[in-house]
Structure 1
Amino acid sequence: MASIVPRPKRSGEITYQVKWREAGDWQSEKFGDEPSAEQFRLLVEAHGNRWPHGWTRGLGFVEPEEHPGDRALGEYAHAYVDGLNTVDARTQHDYKRDVEKHFLGVPYRDAAGLERRLGGLVHTTADGTEHPPTMCNITQADVNEWVRRQRHAVTDPDDPEKVLRIRASAKSVANRHGLLYVIFQSAVEAEPQLRESNPCKKTGLPRQDDGVDEEMVFLEHTEYARISAELRTLDPNAADLADFLVGTGMRWGEATSLQARDINWTTGKVNVQRAWKRTEANTFELGPPKTRKARRLVALNEDQLTMLRRHVAGLGPHDFIFRGGQGKAWRHSNFYHRKWERALGEAIKKGLTKRPRIHDLRHTHVSWLIAQNISPAAIQRRLGHESITTTIDRYGHLLSNLDDEISAAVANAMRATAPSRGLGLVQPA
């Protein structure tokens, strides 16, 4: 809630300061009379404790000046994505999809047959009029309003039961905002400079843990055993693949791209050097792993090596280890619908209370390692995370079981370094 604080001056004059919190930071604006301050306070609260649309601090409702080099947001964003040399074609395709569907809004045809867009980024003037987004007219308030719109489903105005775009998760909003941020930052850093500041810099994003259910599912050993047993009844080869995923923590695209030549039988390790990648045409091809550190050696136990020996028998060096019914590499959709979903359904009928995704086998692997007091650094290397920050951010809440070990280690260290009388310090009687 916004509040009004009187500020007396030495001259006896009183100014009125409107204060409120926006994204955790205090914001304020000064007025010469209380009625104006009260009117502004109501505007702030009407905008969800944010700066009103079109308001410039210290100046009031001032429209941004037109920039001679201004460009439409969609045009500039597409050009920016086309110039990214460090991402593959599929990633560029996904970025452009976000530009079209989420930055510019979901397209639909009104009753007159005209194409319009809903839920996208727009510039709203002081009188409430919405204008198409450009690189220079978008304000911080416009971005905040866009974030709010992302958190609501978009429905057809002529048919409210028809959903055009579902409500975005907090993670999806953060990902889209990240892309929008770098696009506007490129305009700030352009030569000549297209705009002076980035309107995404102080956006208040929704918390990513605001849901009732956890996004990740962690299975106990007995819970996974139920699923594995159903898979083994359905298809032993599918069960072997699932066991390998949960036993190594590999990503689906990494495990299913492994070839016979990747196993070093002497060291007992498997070399992760490729992964399946979705192409712009929605097909799959082999490419490098997700990150530089995803190229790694993963140690295997004797049971895993025994299973792999059975699978590679009679294979050539470049043949895939895990194969579907026709002898080809597994596709995620086929495995999920024909094997995983059916086995999971049977396990749920028999008492399983969780519904994990295939990727949750990777999360489960981590939870098992943490339960055995394996260090985050070792987990980072095994999973192929580019940074240990990723490991801590994703799984840090599971490290609470190490609290006793940490407390004991600190206590032992403090005892070892406790001051003695020889240091000349005052000792208790």
Structure 2
Amino acid sequence: MASIVPRPKKSGGSTYQVKWRESGQWQSEIFGGEQGEEQAAQFRKLVEAHGNRWPHGWVKGRGFVEPELHPDDMDFLEWARRYVDGLTGVDARTKSDYRRDIDRHFAGMAYAGADGSERHAGGLVHQPLDGSAPRPPTVCTVTQDDVSAWVASQAEPLPHPERPGEVLRRKAAPKSIANRHGLLFCIFQAAVDRATPLRGDNPCSRTSLPRLDDGTDEEMTFLEHDEYARISLCLREFDADAADLADFLVGTGLRWGEATALQAKDVSLAKKTISIQRAWKRTEENTFELGPPKTKKGRRVLALSASQVEMLRRQLAGKQPESYVFQGGLGGVWRHANFYNRKWKRACDEAIARGLTKRPRIHDLRHTHVSWLIASNIPLPAIQVRLGHESITTTVDRYGHLVRALDNEIAAAVDAAMVPPARAGLLSAV
């Protein structure tokens, strides 16, 4: 906490010293004049708002000072688009998504003004330290406060500037904000890591983001065995092949793009395994093409249960090595939208009519698979390998809260540690 210490002057009046400890060292700033006390009080609030640190852009003895700009400083949006265009090892669809985020969320949502011109609202702007009107951001002028203000705006609905009661954009989910902030971080880090750095720090490095569990609705839906059985039964009543695919998804934990890209040659009925070598990827033109799995560790071999082997034996009958194991109408590849609208949604609606109290997405079958493995005491590192996660951190972050298998053992260990030694034992020790 910062404090204000009045310092009487021999000539009359007082100066006001704001003091606080930062990283174990005393820091201070002095204010004088007729408004010195008021200015000290305002500065104290700024220090505390910045976590007992010097406010961003404040120079001791001078106040807020705009940073000196690099001679190569440029418009932030131009730099952001240049950064995305120069990325390597990133598929075209991902680049397209990044450009969309730049246009919608960094530049701001576009709308037609009263005069018919295109305008933008809700994007990243630079608020000058002197309190003057906001300005378009450049690479060098954006501050941590600017980024924090942008994050706060993303977490709220964006009202239409000229149409009361309408919104240009709904509030973003915490995960969406985190993803967009991650892109923003990388864009600024590229400016820091440049051979001749455009700026000395990353304004995104200390941003406080909304908690991922702030929402009231769970992002993931986990089905109990009997709950999934209801859906599977309803699905099998009108399409046995679609039910086989759903059973395979929940039984293997494969991503949709991996399971539907599985070819006959990837299955070994003798070894009871499948080899994941490819997955469907959405292109920039919103079509699909085969590519590598999502991560480097996505290439993996999974063991199959006896029932899965029998199902695959049935599905593979008469198929060529390059044929897809799971096929939709007329032998074509299943597309997610078609399967969801024509099969999955219909089955879920019927299951809900029969008493199911959840409405899972297709991807929730992957989450459900993990929850079943955890309930059977399968270690998280083994689950990481099965899912093809690049890092165990991803597995722990998403599913660690489900690990309850050792709750009784942990409670027993705590109880044992807290039991006081016998009185006789204490006396004999003396």
TM-score by length of 1: 0.88
Which residue of the partner structure matches residue 58 of structure 2? 56
The within-5 A match list for 1:80-91 is 80-91=83-94
Distance 1:148 1:44 in 2: 20
Which residue of the partner structure matches residue 347 of structure 1? 351
Contact 2:4 2:41 in 1 (8 A): no
Among residues 387, 399, 405, which one is paired with 1:395 in the alignment?
A: 399
The within-5 A match list for 1:21-420 is 30-32=29-31, 33-41=36-44, 55-58=57-60, 59-125=62-128, 126-405=130-409
Distance 2:415 2:314 in 1: 50
With over 3 angstroms needed to count, the CA separation of the structure-2 counterparts of 1:400 and 1:168, relative to structure 1, is same
With over 3 angstroms needed to count, the CA separation of the structure-2 counterparts of 1:36 and 1:381, relative to structure 1, is same
Contact 1:254 1:276 in 2 (8 A): yes
Q: Secondary structure at the match of 1:17?
A: strand
Q: Secondary structure at the match of 1:81?
A: helix
Q: Secondary structure at the match of 1:131?
A: coil
Distance 1:150 1:175 in 2: 12
Count, aligned residues? 410
Contact 2:235 2:343 in 1 (8 A): yes
CA-based RMSD: 3.1
Distance 1:385 1:28 in 2: 46
Distance 1:70 1:4 in 2: 36
Deviation (angstroms), 1:277 = 0.1
Matched to 1:30, the amino acid is E
Which residue of the partner structure matches residue 423 of structure 1? none
Deviation (angstroms), 1:39 = 2.9
With over 3 angstroms needed to count, the CA separation of the structure-2 counterparts of 1:54 and 1:311, relative to structure 1, is same
Contact 2:144 2:206 in 1 (8 A): yes
Distance 1:121 1:54 in 2: 17
With over 3 angstroms needed to count, the CA separation of the structure-2 counterparts of 1:159 and 1:20, relative to structure 1, is farther
Distance 1:127 1:259 in 2: 62
Deviation (angstroms), 1:62 = 1.8
With over 3 angstroms needed to count, the CA separation of the structure-2 counterparts of 1:160 and 1:314, relative to structure 1, is farther
Contact 2:59 2:65 in 1 (8 A): no
TM-score by length of 2: 0.87
Distance 1:168 1:91 in 2: 19
Contact 1:119 1:154 in 2 (8 A): yes
Deviation (angstroms), 1:384 = 0.6
Distance 1:142 1:6 in 2: 28
Distance 1:298 1:327 in 2: 25
> Structure 1 stretches of 5 or more lacking a match?
415-426
Deviates more, 1:227-236 or 1:59-68: 59-68
Which residue of the partner structure matches residue 424 of structure 1? none
